[in-house]
Amino acid sequence: MAGRLLLLGNEAIARGLVEAGCAVATSYPGTPASEILSAVARWKAETSAPMHVAWSVNEKVAFETAYAASISGLRAAVSMKQVGLNVASDPFFSAAYLGVTGGFLVVSADDPGPHSSQTEQDSRRMAAMAKVPVLDPVSPRDARELVAPAFALSEAFGIPVMLRPTTRVCHASQDVPLGEVRPLGRRADFRKEPARWAATPVHRSRLHRELLEKLSRIASYEPTAPRRINPGVNGPRAVVASGVAFAHAADVLDEAGLMETLAFYRVVQPYPLHPAFVERLLAEHAEILVLEETTGVIEGQFRDRGKVRGKESGAVPEAGELLPETIEGIVARFARRKRPASRVPKEAPGRRPTLCPGCPHRASFMAIRKAAPKGIYPGDIGCYTLGTNLGAVHTVLCMGASIGQAAGFHHAYRQAGQDVDTVATIGDSTFSHAGVPPLVDAVVQGARFTLVILDNRTTAMTGNQPTPQSGRGALGEATAEVDIEALVRGCGVTYCRVGRPTRFPEFLALLKEAVAYARENGPAVVIARDPCLVDRAPFEEPAAPRRMTVSEACDGCRYCINRFECPALVYDAGENRVHHDVLLCSGCGVCAHVCPKKAIVEAPDA
């Protein structure tokens, strides 16, 4: 099997992009989409394909950068997670009207479950709302193979095309055959056509009609039409599936011997669904089961839904991941089969995630609780969302919202004549992504709160991608560095200090000063700067490890376990005391400042 590599779905999509001559690829990291762009960068380096590959500051900017390449005639792609598409929705909806020149793919990765997201939203609904065709890959191999036809579709109709993988495609891995990388050698050639690229409302009406006309032709485009999996099986019942739900259903039907009973179809392009397919199914079958994630996009396009079983009919759950075991039960009911008796117990809840041992965010959160003990703590999206475990994050809405919400809490309390200390946290990457406009607004509106920018100069949660402060790009190349303090001061903030949370006593003093300043003045910003311990290229090495131990003064109160939650601190119920797990301890020494009994100390022999 020479030429087959074990690839994640995301790496397979990346390979497909590079093979298909994509010239510009951009992204902002977000689970489950993050590995797409890093893999594009790797394939580009390996194959020397001429490309611009970049981590953008956010999904909107990523979209606009790639789109400009497309309207210059080049193939381009932008990748993001589903909630990233919300951020990029403004250019996305408009670009559907204007159309494209070079093939343009919007890869929006959904997260049914959700495993690592705020919502389970279905990007295919966004595609339908924007009136853009969307393709639904079933596996890593299939995802790679869909990229070239998606570019071809985009160029055939001059329209953006969405590729919509889900977590179980992105983070599945498979033996994937590689194709040749063939750069297209196109020159950038933007044709100035203001009535299109700068269309005023009068032109937009015409563009909208053109878009609708494109869509109706795409709905009968043969290469993306639904596929019949078991031709010759003509029962009264048919199963229609797309995405990974198709892959689960294929195994379930196969193993239950139902491939000879139920007609089985795969939908490649859930929107627009081919009307000829809908008509044929309604004519040939008495009952049609639709299996798809996460909402009934295919189901909703059946003209006559009397025969259709799916999410909207109640046959398939509307929330949560559509797991193979769930599909097994649904298919058995649909086929009027008794479901095989199962002695499998329900899954017990697993261990919740927590900040890594030695993570500097843990120290920041402890300082925040001590500096403003009765405060409101708006939080944000990143590893530090886990500050919820430590009682130091009270809200998590969306990227950048900690700052807008902190200002909002100030105004809500103030207008009622109340005072509250508000301390918001945001990472450096998230601050650059969506934190600057709300900080400008907070300054203008005189909102009094403290903002702690957790600055580790990396996008840690998604795999340590660079930030605008890192000074390196997607390929590891040197880039300009944006000075975060200058940026904060440029927003009009008058109090901006830098501290190291792992030097705990000094950091706590600084934070108290900031909280006091914010009470009387406007927003105060503290930049909490320490390296991420899982970053393989940290901006500086963490401080030398200290060997910590727990003295006889420990009375087993478990304050450190419950309020500090470092995985390296372990409670021994037998001895009723805490000790350090030496395999896990990073030696940051911050725990010494946690214990109310002062029982955690540096080992005397160290």
Partner 1 sequence: MPDRTRRAKGPAPRGPGSGSSPEGTAGGGVRQQIVVSGVGGQGVLFIGRLLAEAAIARGLPVLASETHGMAQRGGTVIAHLKVGSFSSPLVRPGQADVLILLKEENAASHGRYLRAGGWAAVNAPSAPAALADAASRVVDADALARETGLGKAVNLIVLGRALAGPPGGEGAGAGLFCTPDEIRSILRSRLARQDKILDASLAALDLGITQAIPARHRR
In the range 229-288, which residues lie near partner 1 by CB under 8 A? 229-230, 244, 246-248, 250-252, 254-255, 257, 259-260, 266, 268
Q: Do strands 577-580 and 569-572 pair parallel, antiparallel, or not at all (unpaired)?
A: antiparallel
Residue 338 lies near partner 1 (rule: CB under 8 A):
no
Question: For partner 1, which residue of 6, 286, 486, 537 counts as binding (CB under 8 A)?
Answer: 6
Using CB under 8 A as the binding rule, whether residue 572 contacts partner 1 is answered as no
Count Cβ atoms below 10 Å from residue 552 Cβ, excluding itself: 7
CB nearer to partner 1: pick between 113 and 272: 113
Helix (H, G, I), strand (E, B) or coil at 126: helix
Segment holding 135, helix H or strand E: strand 134-135
CB nearer to partner 1: give 218 or 244.
244
C-alpha distance across the termini of the chain, in Å: 54
Find the shortest distance in angstroms from Cβ 379 to partner 1.
13
Rounded Cα distance, 166 and 294, in Å: 9
Stretch that binds partner 1, among 318-326, 393-401, 447-455, 536-544 (CB under 8 A): 318-326
Which residues between 177 and 196 bind partner 1 (CB under 8 A)?
A: 177
HSE (side-chain half, CA atoms, 13 Å) at 397:
12
Q: How far is the CB of 173 from partner 1 (least distance, A)?
A: 5
Give the residue with the Cβ less far from partner 1, 98 or 268.
Answer: 268
Which part of the chain contacts partner 1 (CB under 8 A), choosing from 191-199, 221-229, 393-401, 539-547? 221-229
**Minimum Å distance from CB 451 to partner 1?**
23
Work out which of 343, 480, 540, 604 binds partner 1, going by CB under 8 A: 343
The nearest distance, CB 143 to partner 1, in angstroms, is 10
| Spatial contact of 180 and 43, defined as CB atoms under 8 Å apart | no
What token pair was written down for 397?
Answer: 């809405």
Residue type, 550: V
Shortest distance, position 23 Cβ to partner 1, whole Å? 23
Member of 503, 567, 597, 601 binding partner 1 (CB under 8 A): 567
549: Cβ–Cβ under 8 A, 6 or more apart, which residues?
579, 580, 600, 601, 602, 603, 604
The least distance separating partner 1 from the CB of residue 172, rounded to whole angstroms, comes to: 4
CB atoms within 10 A of CB 525: 27
Q: How far is the CB of 539 from partner 1 (least distance, A)?
A: 20
From 45-53, 457-465, 521-529, 593-601, span contacting partner 1 (CB under 8 A): 457-465
CA distance 448 to 435: 16
Cis peptide before 32 (omega within 30 of 0): yes
In Å, how far are 501, 532, 536, 537 from 541, measured between CA atoms?
A: 15, 9, 10, 9
Q: Which stretch binds partner 1 (CB under 8 A): 190-198, 222-230, 287-295, 300-308?
A: 222-230
Span 96-115, contacts to partner 1 by CB under 8 A = 115
In whole angstroms, give the CA distance from residue 100 to residue 90. 16
Residue 200 corresponds to which tokens in the numbers above?
A: 């005023």
The answer to whether residue 127 forms part of the interface with partner 1 (CB under 8 A) is no
> How many whole angstroms separate alpha carbon 485 and alpha carbon 496?
7
Q: How far is the CB of 567 from partner 1 (least distance, A)?
A: 5
Q: How many residues sit in the footprint of partner 1 (CB under 8 A)?
A: 71
Which alpha helices (DSSP H) does 416-552 contain, by range?
428-430, 436-444, 484-490, 504-520
* Contact stretch for partner 1 (CB under 8 A) within 85-93, 166-174, 185-193, 543-551: 166-174
Question: Taking Cα atoms as reference points, which of 487, 485, 465 lies closest to residue 476?
Answer: 465
Q: How far is the CB of 533 from partner 1 (least distance, A)?
A: 11
| Footprint on residues 391-430 left by partner 1 (CB under 8 A) | none
d(CA 32, CA 303): 33
DSSP 3-state of 483: coil
Q: 68 vs 233, which CB is nearer to partner 1?
A: 233
Q: Residue 82, CB half-sphere, CA atoms under 13 Å: how many?
A: 27
Name which of 46 and 254 has its Cβ closer to partner 1: 254
d(CA 426, CA 295): 32
Nearer to partner 1, 170 or 595 (CB): 170
The angle at the Cα of 481, spanning 480 to 487, to the nearest 5 degrees, equals: 125
- 462 to 491: interface string for partner 1, x by CB under 8 A: xx----------------------------
348 interacts with partner 1 by CB under 8 A: yes
Secondary structure element (H or E) that encloses residue 550, with its range: strand 548-550
Least Å distance between CB 464 and partner 1?
12
| Interacting span for partner 1 (CB under 8 A) from 11-19, 118-126, 406-414, 456-464 | 456-464
What is the distance between the alpha carbons of residues 564 and 485, in angstroms, rounded to a whole number? 29
What minimum distance in Å lies between the beta carbon of 348 and partner 1? Answer: 4
- Given candidates 202, 306, 314, 342, which one binds partner 1 under the rule CB under 8 A? 342
Assigned token pair, 262: 């139920």
Contact between 32 and partner 1 per CB under 8 A: yes
Residues numbered 145 to 164 that lie near partner 1 (CB under 8 A) are 145-146, 149
Q: Which is nearer to partner 1, 8 or 515 (CB)?
A: 8
